[in-house]
Chains A and B, each alone.
Chain A
Amino acid sequence: MNILAIIGPIVMGAAFGFLLQRGKVTSCNVIENQFRLRDFTVLKVMGTAIVVGGLGVLLLVDTGNSKYYVKDANMLAVAIGAALFGVGMVVYGYCPGTALGAIATGSIHALVGALGMVGGAILYALTFDWLKSHVLNVWTLGKVRLPDITGVPDGVWFAALAAGAGLFFWWVESRGGKRA
């Protein structure tokens, strides 16, 4: 095995973990307070990542230097899964990636939850056959992107996203961290 195939992803993961910690999103308090609308750090990090990342990836794809890796739009499965995810994220106080970072910053309860996540993955594997024939096959639209189904070009989407995020963050900052 090529050593770069090991070092590469470790360095990428480490950079990701470093950024998550510096962004304070490995803190359970920050994540809980996002859902309580008292701290918008999570949305600031995610929104900026989506706009900056998206523009670069769009350029990479347009110049033939990358392709898209779009996940299947199994609409029922995504909707139920995302709802469960939202419940789990508030109860756990982390999402899977930030939890792995948090464990390494000394969060013991994140480690306990990570064992729960192993349990969740096992439960999923054990119920996969049933889900495949009853849930994952409902409302399947395939690997579609918003520009494909709306006819609105990528540039317009990103302009709208950047403007919307900019306005929203400007509003959040102008409130100076006051509660909603």
Chain B
Amino acid sequence: MTAVTHNIDLERSGTGRIDWSPYLVGAGIGVLSWVAFGLFGDPLGVTTAYSRVASWFAVPIIGSEAVAQNSYWKSMPLKWDYGVWFLVGIPLGAFLSAVLSGTWRLELVPEVWEERFGPSVIKRFVAAFLGGVVIMYGARLAGGCTSGHGISGGLQLALSSWLFLAVMFATGLAVSAVLFRKS
């Protein structure tokens, strides 16, 4: 049985399509890193700031006292620093790009997921939620994500970041092979 290979050009079928080269985009992110290092002294990264923000969400869940006493959040309290404002910028830029390219569109279940696991929204939401828990726990344990470790650390030739890249991709390939195996 031949699996249908998904056509990426068609998949964002708002009214438009994106035709920017991934190499151009990668070079753009590289240049953005020059500015991040040279001008701001703050490499591109996401999850450090994300866990600062998470402490705010934690207050109604585990109580303000527990958050205040937590040794991790003591070292990383909620404050509106460079990283948190950077997080605010990401959706703004992505929204602008999607609207300008006519590719903004509501998505409940992505095509690749639906092909394999069916159209159930609940199933997709549960998986997305659990995947989100695991990815953030892993990112914090590793000390960074695809941005902070992968790009910012990778471009500095940091040992920790290249270990992260190797293990992350190897694990992802293995899990994907199992999850998306042909039944």
Residues of A in contact with B (beta carbons under 8 Å apart)? 5-6, 8-24, 26-30, 32-33, 35-39, 41, 44-57, 60-61, 65-75, 77-110, 112-126, 128-129, 131-132, 135-136, 141, 143-147, 149, 154, 157, 169, 179
* Residues A122 and B162 in contact in the complex (CB < 8 Å), given A17-B91, A24-B18, A89-B168: no
Closest CB in chain A relative to B97 CB, distance in Å: 4
Q: Are B160 and A72 in contact (CB under 8 A)?
A: yes
Known pairs A48-B26, A77-B141, A106-B106. 11 more at Cβ < 8 A? A13-B85, A15-B32, A19-B32, A23-B22, A24-B22, A86-B170, A92-B134, A122-B57, A125-B51, A125-B73, A146-B158
Beta-carbon contacts under 8 Å, B16-33 to A: 18, 20, 22-23, 25-33
B66 to chain A, nearest CB (A): 8
- 30 A-B pairs in the complex with CB atoms less than 8 angstroms apart: A14-B96, A16-B147, A19-B93, A21-B97, A22-B18, A29-B110, A52-B26, A53-B30, A57-B156, A71-B161, A73-B158, A73-B160, A77-B141, A78-B142, A79-B167, A84-B137, A86-B138, A90-B176, A91-B134, A91-B175, A92-B135, A96-B146, A100-B90, A100-B94, A116-B136, A117-B50, A118-B136, A124-B141, A128-B72, A145-B159
Residues of B with Cβ closer than 8 Å to A? 5-6, 8, 11-12, 18, 20, 22-23, 25-44, 46-47, 50-51, 53-55, 57-58, 61-62, 70-73, 80, 82-98, 101, 103-113, 124-125, 127-177, 179-180
**Given A78-B160, A90-B176, A117-B50, A71-B28 contact (CB < 8 Å):** no
CB-CB under 8 A from A123, the residues of chain B are 133, 137
Given contacts A18-B94, A104-B98, A117-B136, contact A122 B54 (CB under 8 A): yes
Select one of B61, B113, B151 contacting A122, CB under 8 A.
B61
Q: Which residues of A lie under 8 Å from residue B150 when comparing CB positions?
A: 46, 50
Chain B residue at smallest Cβ distance from A69: B43
CB of B137 to closest CB in A, whole Å? 4
Using known A-B contacts A10-B85, A16-B44, A179-B5, determine if residue A54 contacts B160 with beta carbons closer than 8 Å.
no
B26 & A23 in contact (Cβ 8 Å cutoff): yes
Q: Which of A57, A83, A108, A117 contacts B33 (CB 8 A)?
A: A57
Known interface pairs A96-B139, A114-B132, A145-B156. Does A90 touch B61 (Cβ–Cβ under 8 Å)?
no
Docked-complex contact B132 and A117, CB < 8 angstroms: yes
Pairwise interchain contact A82-B168, C-beta atoms closer than 8 A: yes
Consensus secondary structure, chain B interface? helix
Q: Which residue of B lies closest to A125 (CB)?
A: B72
Cβ-defined contact, B129 with A115, below 8 A: yes
* A97-B156 contact in complex given A12-B32, A16-B90, C-beta closer than 8 Å: no
CB-CB nearest 9 A-B residue pairs = A13-B89, A116-B132, A48-B26, A88-B135, A81-B142, A52-B30, A92-B131, A84-B138, A86-B171
User: Which of A53, A57, A149 is B159 in contact with, Cβ under 8 Å?
Assistant: A149
CB pair A103–B91 under 8 Å, yes or no, is yes
Q: Do B168 and A125 touch (CB < 8 A)?
A: no
Q: Is the CB of B140 within 8 A of A97?
A: no
A6 to B110, CA, bound (A): 34
Residues of A within 8 A of B101 (CB): 21-22
The answer to whether A53 and B155 touch (CB under 8 A), given A78-B164, A89-B135, A116-B128, is yes
